[in-house]
Structure 1
Amino acid sequence: MSHRIEELALDLVGLLHRNATLEEFSARLARLEASPGGTDEKAAAAATVEMAMAVKRRLEQHESSERGLLALVDSAKDLSSQLDLTSLLNAIVDRARNLLGSHLAWLTVYNEETAQFRVLATAGATSSGTTRMTVSHQYGIAGVVLATQAPFHTPNYLLDQRFPHDAELDDIFRNEGVAGMAGVPLLLNDSVVGLLFVADRYDRTYSASSISILSAMASHAAVAVNNAKAFEQARTALQEADRAREALERYARGVQDSAEAHEQLTSLLARGASLATLVQTVAQLLQGAVLVLDEAFQVIDRASAPGYASKAAENYAPHSDRSAAITQAIRASRQGGRSVIAWREDTEVCRVVAVIGGSDLLGAVLLFRPEDLADIPVRTFERSASVIGIMLLSQERMEASRHSEVAGFLRSLISAHSEARASMPEQARHLGLDLAQSLSLILIETEQPKPDFVARRLRARMPQGVLLDEVDGAVVIVCATARTEEVVQVFSAMAERELGGPYRGILSKPMQWHGAVPGVYGALRRGLSVLRRIGAKGRIIEQNQMALYSVLFESHDRESLKAFINASIGPLVAYDQKRGTQIAETLLNYLDSNQNAKSTASNLGIHVNTVRQRLANVDELLGQWSSSSRVLEIHVALRLRSLTGFDT
């Protein structure tokens, strides 16, 4: 070997020793080919340089393989140490980009439902569109890899016509400046679960070694995705198990609470607790507001849990805006035997359960809460309604027993042929009524609801010592004369709230002896007939105001009465209606006051001269009216008009 070749060999060994680049070897080869010398010697020297370059390439391949192996080792470590899928995939994508020396890399996962690949991790991207890519399985390299389950690469993606292009995807790659691209599948159980890509902003042909490294990284990514799915499934199963355990614990607690609640309610019932105590206990157990309604949907008791205020419960009325919903819910509860929701709002729910006694509706229980009950508390609510129903039935039996006594006594008291009159004072004292005091009798006739229902409603409201019952289609009330005003007020208040139709009634004159009751009862019966004929309603009239009319008009109809009133005082009424005066009222008060102008002025709160002026107008309107027969006729007509409300 010549001295020149030996020097060249030493130089080439030195380059290899200091890991010189291939460009430096190429520079040596170029200088050698340009130097003078023999052809054989130059060819031998060139062969020596090319062998050194081949060694350099093999060394670079070994280094690349070593870097790939180290990257795979790092990825394996990450797989065993990281559970965060996003961080793990980002690390894999970043290593793939660095190992292949590419400008960018990304990883996608496949969604079978949408048949699309969605980007999960990126590295080196400059466009936001790249990080948000979704690719259909029909387009681009993604479609080829999915179909073949094998790697695919192209020196220039945008110019490659071996696969169909997606215009939107091409725009994204064009914005990124992408040319060369390689993609490999993430395979799991012979299925493609995703894709790993690298791309460069110049035309590049990817070596088999690069594709092999990329495929190895993809395998790790597939394992990571699978591990993440398995972990997510395990976590979901654990969460479901925890939820099932919590649900079971809640159910067990609910069953225990329900049993304790039922025991508490039945204990209260056994001890003879009041309805108020029972309702308050239910409200506290269910943490809401409770209303107990009777069969007419009137409130008979109410309670609220401490700290809970329900405006809907406080403002409940039988004929309010929600009456239809509550009535329908009670009907549905009665038919189905379970509680139902009557209405629901953002801040409150009203649940209703019918209270049944045998085949009869005793009433209902309404529960108001911020939110609806769970299944077991619903059962507690329904059981509480059963306990309340037992109490209402017990009260009804007690009331029926007392009512039976009162009904028998009243029928004996108003009967003209009663053989038990001597024992009546003792019976009356037992029922709370003293027959030695002055008595009054009240008869009330209603159209809707019927008198028997009105009697039941009144019993719970009347004070002690007031006896009442339904007798022959009318409510009969007997009480001390001193209590008549209170009794009339109680009835009027109930009528205003609950009566859906007209009513009429008569209050008797005081009776000093209970033996006078049968005769007065007969007179009041006749008076009711008169009131019905003349159309009087909405009032309880004193018997003294009816005596004359009962005699005169028992057989007259409404039209006859109107004709009589019109003939007697028609001009007077027409004058008042036209001018808004009160001459008819003044004249009635004047006649009621024995034709005393001063008393009339005092009763009406006006000056006596005003009375005289109005009476002067009467002369002009009715003509001569001072004769006793004419005065009686006018007085009767004015009184009938005040009773009936007739206008001519």
Structure 2
Amino acid sequence: MENADLASYRIRRERELGALYATARSLTALGELDAVLESIVREAHELVGTDFTYLSLVDPEGELRLKASQGTISPSFNQAHVPSGTGVGGRVIASGAPAWVSNYLQARDLPHDRTFDDLVIPEGMVALLGVPLLVGEEVIGVLFAADRTERPFEPDEVALLSAFADHAAIALNNARLYDESRSALKQLQAAYLTIERQVAIMERAQSVHESLTHVVLKGGGADEIARLLVDHLQGAVTVFDRSGAVVARCSLDPDLDTGTAQQPSDGAVEQARRSGRWATTTDSTGRWHTAATVQAGDTYLGAVLLTRVEAPTPVDIRTVERAAQIMGLLILKDTAVAEAEERVRGELLTELLVSAPPVGSAQRARAHARGVDIASLNVVVVAMSETRSASDVGRRLRALSSEWNGLAGEHRGRATLLAAASEPALVAETVHARLRKELGSAVRVVAERVADDNWGRAFELASRCCDLMRNLGVTDLGSTAERYAMFALLFDTDRAQDLDRFVTDTLGPLLVYDVRRSTQLVVTLSSYFGNSGNLTRTAKALRVHMNTLLKRLDRVEGILGDDWRAPDRALQLQMALRLHGLRTQTGRTT
């Protein structure tokens, strides 16, 4: 019997060892981590012959998490994890050696985890053996063999599963290294593709930069910049000037052309203007708007706006910014040319205003080269503002000068325009309306017809009338010099106090009497002189009875004295009444 038992034991051990080495060789042929885990558990289950087998790996927090199982019946058991230091797995990790219990739930010398114990009951696990998966001296996991009946584990079983676990740990570690190598390879490939894309993007950006630079060198404009951006970035491109007007627009997408261009009062353009650089927004249709400001120092010159369906990349944004910088260079270049032309025109304007007639042939030739016929310049316009500088007003006049085929600039601190027009009054009113709108503030405009090519004399009279308007309290009006000429010639317009004193000394008593008594003596006296002293026409003009008119004139005589009709006194009164009327009328209308 002893010989028969020994022979049977030897045959069983040989079969187990043969199976062990066969499964070990099969494990080494696997590369995928998940495939290795499943194979380890399957082969261990067949090798040991317990009811079920499972494998748990140690996670970064030190917990054992089930990764593969064979023979389990409860789906929830496959989600099992055991906290560090608990159960058979905790003992295996702590000792680095196998451990087993014949009845897990009744083992009182083991720290238990209630959550895991709740999973053990439906699975029916009773006897449990755990062996370590060692890589060097580190336990990376535990291989478990379990039965649903109470029993001890023989030393041969423990040794067999431990030997299998040693081979399995090597295969598992190789699989992990294989996964890490493959992951590193994928990262390297991704990095290489990223580098390739970055190189392509840089090459495209360099191409755009070279194209934009070429636009500057050949003297291109906003239309070419918009077209270049659309060619490289797709979508639609809109270029705005400093006032918000669209100066160029290009699009190859009909859907982006169906709507109107975004206005600079809101959206990306306004945000970019506030930031001084760029901004990106999306609208209700899902379109992306990327705007970059065109600036020279702190001066806002306009904006470049890219609209498209796709979100812009950082390179796209830098490209739009670069286009805005190129646009700024073009504007500065055009501005420099315009300023040079303005200086020439300003010099010609000054020469005409200071020189005595007749005009020389050289001046006529210079004017003709700029499309100006000196002989047709028959109106001088002077504009003044209390809130804007003469140079600022002068720049506005330059922009208007082409409408009258004229010259504009600044002369002796006054914004001046020489125009070719048949109606000075129409020129004054039109220029006043335009300046009033553009400046957003009050402005005085006086126009005077030029006689005998004497632009200097017309300028002096228009300037004096402009000063007189200010002294009279007129701040916002377009008029001809004719309306104020006589008084501008009689009074020194630099002595506003003397002008006020003259009106007050001459009409002061009547003005005070009217205010205190709510009478109309000043209006009556003005109508009396306006009707050449004719009482009938005066009464009719005032719509009063003759007796009422006579009583008013008697009151005037009582206030001013009985000599108010004398020629010298009457002349003073008429002049004061006229000045007061201009001041009062303007006060009501401005």
Q: Normalization by structure 2: what TM-score?
A: 0.73
Structure 2 equivalent of residue 413 of structure 1: 352
Higher mean displacement: 234-243 or 534-543 = 534-543
Structure 2 counterpart of 1:476 = 416
Alpha-carbon distance between aligned partners in 2 of 1:311 and 1:448, rounded to the nearest angstrom:
42
The aligned residue for residue 643 of structure 1 is 586
Query: Aligned equivalents of 1:76 and 1:453: distance in 2?
Result: 93
What corresponds to 1:17 in structure 2?
Answer: none
Is 1:194 paired with 2:133? Answer: no
Alpha-carbon separation, structure 2, partners of 1:217 and 1:445: 103
Distance 1:201 1:218, change over 3 A: same
1:288-343: CA deviation from partner (whole Å, max 9, x where unpaired)? 6556666x6756843344228499993343x657777434533xxxxxxxxx4345
| Cα RMSD (Å) | 4.8
Is residue 402 of structure 2 the alignment partner of residue 463 of structure 1? yes
- CA deviation after TM superposition for structure 1 residue 160, in Å: 1.7
Identify the match of residue 372 of structure 2 among 422, 430, 433.
433
Structure 1 regions of 5+ residues with no counterpart? 1-47, 331-339, 574-586, 596-614
Q: Using the alignment, how far apart are the partners of 2:164 and 2:498 within structure 1?
A: 108
Q: Find the counterpart in structure 2 of residue 73 from structure 1.
A: 22
SS of residue paired to 2:29: helix
- Equivalent AA in structure 1 for residue 444 of structure 2: G
Q: Which residue in 2 is equivalent to 1:329?
A: 275
Q: 1:370-400: per-residue Cα shift (whole Å, max 9, x none)? A: 534445x666556545544443343233223
Listed one character per residue, the Cα deviations across residues 79-107 of structure 1 (whole Å, up to 9, x for unaligned) are 42452x33432333234334434333322
Is the 8 Å Cα contact of residues 537 and 644 (structure 1) preserved in structure 2? no
After superposition, where does 1:552-563 map in structure 2 within 5 Å? 555=496
Q: Which amino acid aligns with 2:288?
A: E
Q: Tell me if structure 1 keeps the 8 A contact 2:125–2:148.
A: yes
Contact 2:382–2:417, Cα closer than 8 Å, also in 1: yes
Instruction: Work out the CA distance in 2 between the residues paired with 1:494 and 1:309.
Output: 36
Equivalent-residue separation in structure 2 for 1:518 and 1:62 (angstroms): 133
Aligned twin of 1:8: none
**Separation of aligned partners in 2, 1:378 and 1:236:** 33
3-state SS, counterpart of residue 402 of structure 2: coil
How many residues in Structure 1 have an aligned counterpart in Structure 2? 536
Which of 295, 304, 308 is the matching residue for 1:366? Answer: 304
What does residue 273 of structure 1 align with?
220
Partner residue, 2:42: 94
Counterpart secondary structure, 1:442: strand
Report the counterpart of residue 398 of structure 1 in structure 2: 337
Q: What does the per-residue CA deviation read over 1:594-617, in whole Å, with 9 as the maximum and x for residues that have no partner? A: 99xxxxxxxxxxxxxxxxxxx999
Q: Given that residues 155 and 180 in structure 1 are in contact (C-alpha distance below 8 angstroms), is that contact kept between their aligned partners in structure 2? A: yes
Structure 1 residue 521: deviation in Å?
2.2
AA aligned to 1:212 is A
Q: How far apart are the structure 1 equivalents of 2:275 and 2:183?
A: 40
SS for the counterpart of 2:50 is: coil
User: Using a 3 Å threshold, how does the CA distance of structure 1 residues 431 and 190 change in structure 2: closer, same or farther?
Assistant: same
In structure 2, give the amino acid aligned to 1:153. Answer: W
Distance 1:105 1:411, change over 3 A: same
Check whether the contact 1:290–1:313 (CA below 8 A) recurs between aligned residues.
no
Secondary structure in 2 matching 1:526 = helix
Compared with structure 1, are the counterparts of its residues 282 and 322 closer, same or farther at alpha carbon in structure 2 (3 Å cutoff)? Answer: closer
Contact preservation (8 Å) 1:504, 1:536: no
String of CA shifts for 1:383-421, please: whole Å, max 9, x gaps.
545544443343233223211221012122333x54773
Distance 1:215 1:466, change over 3 A: farther
Distance in 2, Cα, partners of 1:462 & 1:239: 69
Q: Which residue of 1 aligns with 2:556?
A: none
* Consecutive unaligned residues in structure 2, runs of 5 or more: 532-539, 554-564
Compared with structure 1, are the counterparts of its residues 321 and 507 closer, same or farther at alpha carbon in structure 2 (3 Å cutoff)? farther
Say whether the 8 Å CA contact 2:272–2:279 is kept in structure 1. Answer: yes
The residue that corresponds to 1:303 in the other structure is 249
Preserved CA contact (<8 Å) 1:433 1:479: no
Task: Give the 5 Å matches for 1:2-21.
Answer: none
2:252 aligned partner, one-letter code:
P
- Counterpart residue identity of residue 193, structure 1: I
1:168 is matched with which residue: 115, 135, 138?
115
Task: Determine if contact 1:441/1:476 at 8 Å carries over to the other structure.
Answer: yes
Write the distance in 2 (CA, Å) between the matches of 1:450 and 1:552.
26
Query: C-alpha offsets along residues 9-61 of structure 1, whole Å, 9 cap, x if unaligned?
Result: xxxxxxxxxxxxxxxxxxxxxxxxxxxxxxxxxxxxxxx6x876x36xx6478
**Local SS of the residue matching 1:481:** coil
Question: How much has 1:439 moved relative to structure 2?
Answer: 3.1
